[in-house]
């Protein structure tokens, strides 16, 4: 990536809405953000969500919290409570969030409650506050392709009923992500060039021809001097292999490549060992399985 991912504390109010939580955690899982949260932040969003959602048990929310912590263990901030009493904010009950930012070395607090985190109280600690709408829009400006990929993955996390792109964007707009949803609408407009591997592969009737086109489109080098049938056994065999190789080439992220191909943990570990070192493949398989269970 061209710049370092921001380190951000997710306030309870941005973890409360399901779809926003889904996107923010997916962005952290994909390495676009170094997320931070605490037990106090977890307790706040879970308590409020359980109180406002009849039939939603606190045990189910605790299971969600545990999966979040398991998938992103580095997000959990400890040793922040001793700082709380020395901090000043309009609402003293919000001081634990600023303490988490300081202890977690975060540069930004992502929150809907901007008035509760005025710049005058944050500046001395090297912290700013942003709405999730501004935060995600800024992420897109920094990492456009990776951010769009994360949003796509977040949509596919909804396995029981995957919404259309338009419906998903509408839900985000209704949830307050006005600028971000507008950006997504512009990004989803069809381009003159086929953007997905599926569209590329669909134009070809033979396995070899499809592989050649997909590899070329992904800037995967095919040695000019070697016949295709000689190169082919040593190269990616299908569109999924091409996609995994393409994402590795573009991002250098084993986890993002394994998640993008949407395969089972066993296949990620066994089949893609040709492209992913075995330790990374095993880690990717474990994390991928946890994310699927959390969806």
pLDDT in tens, 113-144: 999 999 999 999 999 999 999 999 999 999 99
Distance of alpha carbon 146 from alpha carbon 187, whole angstroms? 12
Distance of alpha carbon 10 from alpha carbon 137, whole angstroms? 16
Give residue 192's pLDDT: 44
- Asked which of 13-22, 131-140, 184-193, 204-213 is least confident by mean pLDDT, the reply is 204-213
Q: Is residue 189 very low, low, confident or very high in pLDDT (cuts 50, 70, 90)?
A: low
pTM of the model: 0.65
pLDDT in tens, 36-46: 999 999 999 99
pLDDT in tens, 279-290: 555 555 555 555
Distance of alpha carbon 68 from alpha carbon 114, whole angstroms? 25
207 vs 248, which has greater pLDDT? 248
- Listed in sequence order, the residues at least 6 apart from 127 whose beta carbon sits closer than 8 Å to its beta carbon are 98, 101, 102, 106, 107, 108, 109
Give residue 256's pLDDT: 60
Question: What's the sign of the alpha-carbon dihedral 62, 68, 70, 76?
Answer: negative
- Listed in sequence order, the residues at least 6 apart from 44 whose beta carbon sits closer than 8 Å to its beta carbon are 12
> Residue 104: pLDDT above 60?
yes
Phi and psi (nearest 5°) for 129? Answer: -125, 145
> Residue 197: pLDDT above 50?
no
- Listed in sequence order, the residues at least 6 apart from 112 whose beta carbon sits closer than 8 Å to its beta carbon are 11, 13, 14, 131, 132, 176
Which phi-psi region, left, alpha or beta, contains residue 126 (left: φ > 0; alpha: ψ -120 to 50)?
left
What is the residue extent of each domain of the chain? 7-187, 197-294
> Residue 231: pLDDT above 50?
no
Give residue 116's pLDDT: 97
pLDDT in tens, 154-169: 999 987 788 889 999 9
What is the distance of C-alpha 284 from the center of its chain?
A: 14
- Asked which of 58-72, 189-203, 253-267 is least confident by mean pLDDT, the reply is 189-203
Give residue 4's pLDDT: 84
Distance of alpha carbon 19 from alpha carbon 22, whole angstroms? 5
Give residue 200's pLDDT: 34
Distance of alpha carbon 29 from alpha carbon 290, whole angstroms? 11
Q: Is residue 217 very low, low, confident or very high in pLDDT (cuts 50, 70, 90)?
A: very low
Give residue 187's pLDDT: 75
Distance of alpha carbon 137 from alpha carbon 186, whole angstroms? 13
- Which of the following CATH numbers is that of domain 7-187: 1.10.287, 3.30.160, 3.40.50, 2.70.98? 3.40.50
Q: What is the DSSP string of 147-196?
A: HHHHHHHHHHT-TTSPPPHHHHHHHHHHTT-HHHHHHHHHHTSPPSS--S
Sole residue written with tokens 């605790």: 62
Which phi-psi region, left, alpha or beta, contains residue 69 (left: φ > 0; alpha: ψ -120 to 50)?
alpha
If residue 34 lies in a helix (H) or strand (E), which one and from where to where? strand 34-36
Q: What is the DSSP letter of 72?
A: -
Q: Is residue 226 very low, low, confident or very high in pLDDT (cuts 50, 70, 90)?
A: very low
């Amino acid at each position: 990536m061209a710049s370092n991912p921001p380190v951000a504390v997710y306030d309870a109010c941005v973890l409360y809405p399901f779809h926003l939580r889904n996107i923010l955690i997916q962005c952290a899982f994909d390495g676009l953000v170094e997320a931070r949260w605490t037990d106090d932040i977890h307790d706040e969003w879970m308590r409020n969500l359980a109180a406002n959602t009849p039939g939603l048990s606190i045990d189910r929310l605790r299971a969600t919290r545990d999966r979040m912590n398991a998938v992103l263990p580095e997000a959990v901030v400890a040793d922040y409570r001793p700082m709380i009493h020395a901090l000043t904010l309009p609402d003293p009950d919000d001081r634990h969030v600023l303490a988490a930012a300081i202890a977690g070395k975060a540069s930004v607090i992502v929150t809907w409650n901007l008035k509760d985190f005025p710049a005058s109280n944050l500046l001395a600690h090297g912290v700013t506050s942003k709405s999730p709408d501004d935060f995600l829009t800024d992420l897109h400006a920094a990492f456009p392709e990776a951010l769009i990929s994360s949003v796509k993955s977040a949509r596919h996390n909804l396995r029981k009923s995957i919404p259309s792109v338009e419906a998903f964007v509408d839900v985000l707009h209704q949830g307050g992500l006005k600028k971000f949803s507008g950006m997504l609408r512009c990004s989803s407009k069809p381009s003159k060039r086929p953007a997905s591997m599926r569209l590329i592969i669909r134009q070809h009737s033979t396995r070899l021809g499809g592989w050649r086109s997909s590899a070329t489109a992904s800037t995967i080098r095919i040695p000019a001097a070697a016949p295709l049938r000689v190169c082919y056994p040593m190269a990616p065999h299908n569109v999924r292999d091409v996609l995994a190789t393409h994402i590795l080439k573009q991002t250098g992220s084993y986890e993002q490549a394994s998640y993008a191909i949407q395969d089972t943990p066993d296949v990620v570990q066994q089949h893609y060992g040709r492209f992913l070192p075995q330790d990374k493949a095993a880690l990717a398989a474990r994390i991928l399985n946890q994310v699927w269970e959390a969806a």
